[in-house]
Amino acid sequence: MTVKQRWQISPPQPDADKLARDAHIPQPLAELLLARGISTAAEAHIFLNPAADQLHSPALMLGMDAAVERIERAIAKSEPILLYGDYDVDGTTAVVLLKTAIEMLGGTVRFHVPHRIREGYGLQSSVLEEAHAAGIRLVVTVDTGMRACAEAETARRIGLDLIITDHHLPSASDPLPHCDAILNPNQQSCTYPEKSLCGAAIAFKLAQALLENHESHRNDPTRLREKILPSFLKMAAIATIADAVPLRGENRVIAALGLRELRRPAAAGLRALFQAATLDPASKAITGFDIAFRIAPRINAAGRMDIASEVIELFTTRDTNRARDLANKLEVLNRQRRDAEASALAEIERRLTEDAELKDAPLLVVDGEGWHRGIIGILASRVVERTAKPAIVVSIEDGVAHGSGRSVDGFPLLEALESSAPLFTRFGGHAFAVGFALPAERLTELKRGLVAYAHEKLASREPEHLLRIHAELPLERITPVLAGWLRRLEPLGHGNPEPVFVTRGVRLHSAPRVMKERHIRLELASGTAIMRCVGWNWAARCAAHGLKQGSVIDLAYKIRENDHPDYGGIEVEIAGLEVPAR
């Protein structure tokens, strides 16, 4: 399925020359910083040089004093503390962070991570009751609990103290859960400067507060600043990048400093995970891309396909052999996840090709008997990538339809579900991602209602992939020096996207060369510059344009530094290609 790509080119920044002079940076980098709202040399220096002194004091977070006091009291009284997490990267790394900090201070920690299929997301009253019966008197949630009013009432009724740490938005209409403390920058009256922390970053702030309070009594702040907190930033960085929070402000600092520390993975679990992912931080610095696409999927595979609690064991064990076994298990689970995903996706693509009604629908609802519920969210994302349409993938098990959906700009998917609210036994989410369950016999009615809703809201809209281009750039200005400056934008991701440039009127210096039937290599000429270019999965599209030596194109691209022995050096990677009208 071929979907039109529309280019959206950012307008030139009139103050770019001034910022480039004042900050002593290249003009293209000044353009990119201005587009990110960075307008002065001082702001540019802070953005390009993340440092520990840019981290905010955890004391600024509402509820922090009460949370620290209650945890310290539990440690002093030798009360075991239950950490209640979530089964994704954010939740499991948050448990690791707090568990490590509390145990460093002499506390006893147990943890519970729910099983995605058997228990589902969120705090469960039954687990709280079991914990109380086992002698637990304090529960600390991480990455969950913000809307758990009924469960908080259960805790109060049975005499269980509860601290909630979470980053999800509180309900606009319901009161906050009644508990001993809530740590969430998004709650009303919280003046903490960074509102978009992930769950593990909030756990990191709590750990930071606990450790700072302890180290202040030892009168040794240097040990905390230079040795202890940097090791905690590794986990916080993995979660920050994996959870796709905006990589700006304090999130950028956490991610950048954590990636720096990941160059020296001391813990057995991290070393084993890097080895399983064939990453060697000793020879090549770990990037945000490595975390998002190689490390995070392996961690998430545990929660999607099996038991996420083993991730916590991986990151806390000191046994090298056990760490290797656990990392290898994650590798197996990740392969199983990929295989299950590929099988279901092939079936979905077959239906999109053969089913005319589905192919023409403005919103896609695709269901399968027994598709693994741990992958339906990934499948929905893959369908959106291929079709540029909102997509919902449904797994049917034992008469129940479990669905996960992803959307596109301008179509709030949660509002679409709300139009069919009476059909669901449960549903929730936000504009771009939703989840739900309903009796399978209601699925036909749901499809009919959602497609009708989408026809009304998307009536005049053609599906298209939007390519955001950040600046125009002549090929002759692409140098190793510029590439080095652009590396200073790392870590890249949500809120801090990788720059995409455009050069118009580029001529093919030689005939295109196809690699492995799918990829393409081009040699480009513009002015006095000759530049190598690679296009992954672009061979068919280049052939459709009839490109040959001498062809003239407009090229959107990303700048790459290739370390291949035959093709080393600066090159560009195709992000978009158009043949200008003659």
What contacts 146, CB < 8 A, 6 or more positions away? 164, 166, 168, 169, 170, 171, 176, 177, 182, 184
Q: Find, among 2, 15, 214, the residue nearest to 103 by Cα.
A: 214
Same domain, 488 and 449: no
My answer on whether 532 and 573 are in the same domain is yes
The CATH code of the domain that includes 491 is 2.40.50.460
Residue 149 and residue 69 share a domain: yes
Query: Is 488 found in the same domain as 447?
Result: no
Q: Among the three residues 307, 325, 354, which one is the final residue of a domain in this structure?
A: 354
Domain with 372, as residue range(s), is 363-460
- The whole-number pLDDT of residue 329 equals 94
Q: Which residues pair with 438 in a beta bridge?
A: 401
Gap between the Cα atoms of 381 and 447, Å rounded = 18
The pTM is what? 0.90
- Phi first, then psi, for residue 73 (nearest 5°) are -65, -40
Asked if the structure places residue 39 within a domain, the reply is: no
* pLDDT of res. 227: 76
As to burial, measured by CB atoms within 10 angstroms (0-12 exposed, 13-18 middle, 19+ buried), residue 553 is buried
> Quick check: 366 and 392 in contact, CB under 8 A?
yes
CB 1 within 8 A of CB 386: yes
Q: What is the pLDDT of residue 208?
A: 95
> Could you give the strand order of the β-sheet that contains 161-165, starting from the edge strand earlier in sequence?
108-112, 80-84, 138-142, 161-165, 181-183
pLDDT reported for residue 431? 81
With respect to residue 251, please indicate whether it lies within any of the assigned structural domains. no
The closest alpha carbon to 379, from 420, 338, 332, 438, belongs to: 338
Q: What is the dihedral of CA 263, 264, 270, 276, to 10 degrees?
A: 60
| Number of neighbours of residue 211 by Cβ within 10 angstroms | 20
Question: How far, rounded to the nearest angstrom, does the alpha carbon of residue 506 sit from its chain's CA centroid?
Answer: 35
Last residue of a domain, one of 333, 354, 375: 354
3 state SS of 569: strand
Q: How far apart are CA 20 and CA 195, in angstroms?
A: 30
Answer yes or no: is 58 within a domain: yes
502 CB-contact burial (10 Å; exposed 0-12 / middle 13-18 / buried 19+):
buried
Amino acid at 388: A
Distances (CA, A) of 57 to 65, 238, 302, 429: 12, 21, 33, 31
pLDDT of 121 = 72
Q: Is residue 285 part of a domain?
A: yes
Both tokens assigned to 172: 């606009």
Residues 326 and 290 in one domain: yes
**CA separation for the pair 283, 177 (Å, rounded):** 48
Same domain, 82 and 187: yes
User: pLDDT, tens digit, for every residue of 490-537?
Assistant: 999 988 999 999 999 999 999 999 999 999 999 999 888 899 999 999
In a domain, 41, yes or no: no
Task: Quote the distance between the C-alpha of residue 177 and its chain's center.
Answer: 27
The SS3 assignment for 360 reads: helix
Q: Tell how strand 519-526 and strand 513-515 pair up.
A: antiparallel
| Residue 169: how many other CB atoms lie within 10 Å | 12
Residue 218: enclosing H or E segment and its boundaries?
Answer: helix 199-218
Please tell me the distance from the alpha carbon of residue 172 to that of residue 397, in angstroms, as a whole number: 33
The CA distance from 394 to 291, in Å, is 28
30 occurs within a structural domain: no
Which secondary-structure segment (H or E) carries 529?
strand 529-535
pLDDT of res. 220:
64
- The DSSP element (H or E) to which 519 belongs, if any, is strand 519-526
Q: Is 123 in the same domain as 230?
A: yes
CATH number at residue 196: 3.90.1640.30
Are residue 387 and residue 412 in the same domain, yes or no? Answer: yes
For residue 551, the model assigns a pLDDT of 95
- Which of 203, 404, 385, 390 has the alpha carbon at shortest distance from 304? 404
Contact 204, 179 (CB under 8 A): no
- Within this chain, do residues 208 and 325 fall inside the same structural domain, yes or no? no
Residue at token pair 């002194």: 53
* Distance between CA atoms of residues 538 and 7, nearest Å: 17
The count of structural domains within the chain is 4
Co-location of 525 and 494 in the same domain: yes
Q: Considering the domain boundaries, does residue 245 fall inside one?
A: no
Residue 105 burial (C-beta neighbours within 10 Å; 0-12, 13-18, 19+): middle
Residue with tokens 């509860």: 162
| CATH classification at residue 381 | 3.10.310.30
Report d(CA 13, CA 10) in Å as an integer: 9
The tens-digit pLDDT sequence of the chain (582 residues) is: 568 889 999 999 999 999 999 999 999 999 999 999 999 999 999 999 999 999 999 999 999 999 999 999 999 999 999 999 988 899 999 999 999 999 999 999 999 998 877 777 778 999 999 999 999 999 999 998 888 899 999 999 999 999 999 988 776 667 899 999 999 999 989 999 999 999 999 999 999 999 998 876 666 667 777 778 889 999 999 999 998 899 999 999 999 999 999 998 889 999 999 999 999 998 888 999 999 999 999 999 888 887 888 999 999 999 999 999 999 999 999 999 999 999 999 999 999 999 988 988 999 999 999 899 889 999 999 999 999 999 999 999 999 999 999 999 889 999 999 999 999 998 887 788 888 999 999 999 999 999 999 999 987 778 888 899 999 999 999 999 999 999 999 999 988 999 999 999 999 999 999 999 999 999 999 888 899 999 999 999 999 999 999 999 999 999 998 877 776 789 999 999 999 986
d(CA 389, CA 568): 38
Long-range contacts formed by 22-28: CB under 8 A, 24+ apart? 25/485, 26/481, 26/482, 26/485, 28/471, 28/473, 28/477, 28/482, 28/486, 28/501
Determine what percent of the chain falls in helix, strand and coil, rounding each to the nearest 5: 45, 20, 35
501 in the same domain as 418 = no
Where is the domain boundary, 443, 460, 477? 460
The residue among 508, 512, 521 whose CA lies nearest residue 567 is 521
DSSP 476: G
244 sits in the region (left: phi over 0; alpha: psi -120 to 50; else beta) called left
Q: Does any domain span residue 414?
A: yes
Does 294 share its domain with 368? no
| C-alpha torsion 492→495→497→503, nearest 10 | -150
Per the structure block, which two tokens stand in for 493?
A: 């991701």
